[in-house]
Structure 1
Amino acid sequence: MGPRPIAKPASSREPDGMRQSVEIGFPLGAGSYAVTRWGGPATVAAPTVIAAHGITANGLAWAPLAEALPEVDFVAPDLRGRGRSRDVGGPYSIAAHADDLVRTLDHLGVERATLLGHSMGGWVAAVAAVRHPERFGGTVLVDGGLGFPLPPDTDLDALLDNLLGPAMAKLRTTYASREEFLAPWRGHPSLVDVYSPAVEAYQARDIIGTEPEVRSACVLEAVRDDAADELRNPEVVGAIHRLPGRAVFLHAERGLLNEPVGLYSPEVVAAAKLEDAGIDVRYVAGTNHYSILLGDRGVTAVAEAVRALL
C-alpha cells in the first residue's frame, strides 16, 4: 500500500456553504501527488467515485459535482504535471494517469470505485477501466474519451492551439498578478454564464509563482505528451470500445469556446456506434465542453449518470 497519506485541510478553502474537503498528498515520482477528497472514511458506507480532469485542468474542476453528490466519497487527483502534482514528473501518458488512479485508491485504502472522466480524463478513465477491471465498477465519460481520426502528419501544437485556444495560451504566458491570470477566465465564452466562486477556486489552483511573475502550474511537456497519446495511440483511442463494465457517455451540445457544434456532434457520436459496445449515450442540451462539468444543467446530468452506476 505504500506510506500512509497525510490528510490536511485544503489550502484553497471552499466558498461558504460548500461541502468540506481535505487535500491528501503522497510521494510519487519526483514529487508529491495531490488529491482532493470530499466525504471520505467518515461516510462509512459511501461508494467511492474517482475522477480524472481535463488536459490543462486540476482536481478542483470537480467541486460542483462533488457538491451535487453528497452521498458519495468523491476523490479527485491533480493529475501528474498539473496543479499540485506538477512536480511528480514523467512519463506522461494516459496509461500513467490510469495507473496513478489505482495508486490513489491503494493509498486511500479503497478497493473499488466508480470511474469518472472529463475531456482528456475520459481517456484516462477508459484506459483505467480496461487496465484494471477488478478495481472499477463502472465508467462515466463526460465529453471525452471518444477518439478522432487523425492524419499522421498532423501538427500537434497547431491542433492543440486551435482546439484549446486560451487554455494553451496560458501555459506560455507569464502574468503580472493573480488578477491578470484570472480575468480572462471570468469572460471566457464557455464560462461566463456559469462562473462562480467554485470555478474561480478551480482556476486559482492553477496559479504558481509570486507577483509580478505568476503562471500556470501545467507542465507543457505533459500536455503535449498526453495529447499525442490520446490522439495517436490505438490502445488509448480504442479503449472506449473495450470497457469491461457498465458505462455512460455524455456529450455537450456546444464546443470548447461555446461554438454551436460540440466537440462531439450527434453525427460523430452516432457513427461511433457506442451503443453496440453497451454504452449508454446521453446528449446534454444547453451545455458546452466546460459548462457540462461546471454549470447547473451539466452537473445535474452528470450526477444522474453517476447515480445510475452506483
Structure 2
Amino acid sequence: MSDTTPVAGDEYTVPVAGGGLAVTRWGEGPGVPVLAVHGITANGHSFARLAAELAARGGPPLHAPDLRGRGASGALPGPHGLAAHADDLVAVLDRLGVERTVWVGHSMGAFVSCLAAVRHPDRVSGLLLVDGGHGLPAPAGTDIDSVLGPAMVRLRTTFASPDDYRAFWRRHPAFAGRWNPWVDAYILRDLAGTAPDLRSTCDEAAVRTDGAQVLADAEVLGAVHRLPVPARLLWAARGLMDEAPGLYTPERLAGLPDTLATVELPDDNHYTPLFSSTARLLAAQVHALVQETVQVQRQL
C-alpha cells in the first residue's frame, strides 16, 4: 500500500438525538462492515488508511463516524459523554441493518468501544483497541489540557489557511518526520469556517466532558475488565508527544484480564499506527478478529 494514495470514502448521515451523525464508508468487499471509533479530538478520516489496507486484503467495508462534536458532526449538540457516543454508534449499526460486528477503537474511541461492548453486548462481536481502552491512575489535578497538550490548544486557535493548519500539525512532535498524505487528509477534515478564520471542528465542551470520563469515570474505566467478547489491545511504545515510554508499558498492562491479548507497536507513538505502515498490522488483526468471531458464532 503506497503512502501517496489516500482513498476518498462515501459519506452519509444517521439520525441521532439532535441531528445527523456524519459517517464515512470505505470499501466494497464482502462481509459484515467493521465499525471504527476515533480519538477525542480526531475524526473518522483517521481510519482511511486502515480501510484501504482492509480493502487490499479483500476484507470487509469499514464505516467510521465523526463522533458527536467532531468533524462533520461538529455542530451536533449534547448529550456528551462516552455513553452518548456508544448510543450514536448503535444507531449507525441500526441504519446499516447490522446486528453485531467488530469494532476498532483508537485512543478515546477504544474506551467508547469497551463501554459499548459492556452496555450493548449484543451489538459487538469483537474489539481491536489501539493505544486506548485501559485507564491509568491519574495524579490529582490532572485534566485533559495537560494530557493532550497542543491538540487541546488548537481548539482555541484560529488559522489563516489550510497551510497554516498544516504547519501547526507539522510542528507536533508526534508527526515530526512522519508526515504523509494520509495525515494531511485527516487533519484537513478538522477545519471549519472561512479563511482567514479557520478553526478546528471539535466542540471544546464535548472534548472536556469526554476527557473527564476517560480520566475518572468508574464505569468507563472498568469496562475493559468486563468485556464479553474477544478483544486485542495494540499499544504504542511512545506517547502523544512522541515521548518514551508511552501511555502503556508491560507493567501498566499487568492488571488486565488474561483474555485480553496485548501487542506492542515498538516503532509507533500514540498517533501513528493509523497513518503508517502499521495500518497493515491493524488490518491483519481486524481480519483475525473477524475470523475468530465467525468461528464463535458457528459454535453457538
TM-score, scaled relative to structure 2: 0.90
Report the counterpart of residue 73 of structure 2 in structure 1.
85
Matches of 1:102 and 1:30 in 2, distance apart? 16
Letter in 2 for 1:184: F
Once the two structures are TM-superposed, the CA of residue 18 in structure 1 deviates from its matched residue by 4.1
Residue pair 1:115, 1:129 contacting (<8 A) in 2 also: no
Residue pair 2:50, 2:274 contacting (<8 A) in 1 also: yes
In the alignment, structure 1 segments of 5+ residues that lack a partner are 1-14
Q: 2:229 aligns with which of 233, 237, 245?
A: 245
- Aligned to 1:307, the other structure's residue is in SS state helix
Sort the Cα spacing of 1:238 and 1:200 in 2 relative to 1 into closer, same or farther, 3 A: same
Once the two structures are TM-superposed, the CA of residue 155 in structure 1 deviates from its matched residue by 4.6
Matches of 2:212 and 2:147 in 1, distance apart? 14
Q: 2:219 aligns with which of 235, 245, 262?
A: 235
Residue pair 1:48, 1:112 contacting (<8 A) in 2 also: no
Report the counterpart of residue 246 of structure 2 in structure 1.
262
Report the counterpart of residue 141 of structure 2 in structure 1.
154
Identical counterparts, % of pairs: 47
Matches of 2:224 and 2:76 in 1, distance apart? 27
Residue pair 1:140, 1:306 contacting (<8 A) in 2 also: yes
Matches of 1:18 and 1:288 in 2, distance apart? 21
Report the counterpart of residue 61 of structure 1 in structure 2.
46
Report the counterpart of residue 204 of structure 2 in structure 1.
220
Report the counterpart of residue 294 of structure 2 in structure 1.
none
Sort the Cα spacing of 1:16 and 1:109 in 2 relative to 1 into closer, same or farther, 3 A: farther
RMSD: 1.6
In the alignment, structure 2 segments of 5+ residues that lack a partner are 291-300
Residue pair 1:30, 1:89 contacting (<8 A) in 2 also: yes
Matches of 1:88 and 1:273 in 2, distance apart? 35
User: After the TM superposition, which parts of structure 1 deviate over 6 Å for at least 4 consecutive aligned residues?
Assistant: none
Report the counterpart of residue 294 of structure 1 in structure 2.
275
- Aligned to 1:133, the other structure's residue is in SS state coil
Once the two structures are TM-superposed, the CA of residue 16 in structure 1 deviates from its matched residue by 7.4
Once the two structures are TM-superposed, the CA of residue 53 in structure 1 deviates from its matched residue by 0.3
Once the two structures are TM-superposed, the CA of residue 223 in structure 1 deviates from its matched residue by 0.4
Letter in 1 for 2:265: V
Report the counterpart of residue 273 of structure 1 in structure 2.
256
Residue pair 1:28, 1:88 contacting (<8 A) in 2 also: no
Report the counterpart of residue 49 of structure 1 in structure 2.
34
Matches of 1:263 and 1:221 in 2, distance apart? 24
Residue pair 2:4, 2:181 contacting (<8 A) in 1 also: no
Matches of 1:195 and 1:53 in 2, distance apart? 19
Size of the aligned set, in residue pairs, is 285
Matches of 1:143 and 1:58 in 2, distance apart? 16
Matches of 1:88 and 1:47 in 2, distance apart? 28
Letter in 2 for 1:33: L
Matches of 2:120 and 2:166 in 1, distance apart? 38
Once the two structures are TM-superposed, the CA of residue 26 in structure 1 deviates from its matched residue by 2.7
- Aligned to 2:166, the other structure's residue is in SS state helix
Deviations 1:157-215 (A, max 9, x none): xxx22221111010011112221112121232212333221211110010011011111
Once the two structures are TM-superposed, the CA of residue 17 in structure 1 deviates from its matched residue by 4.4
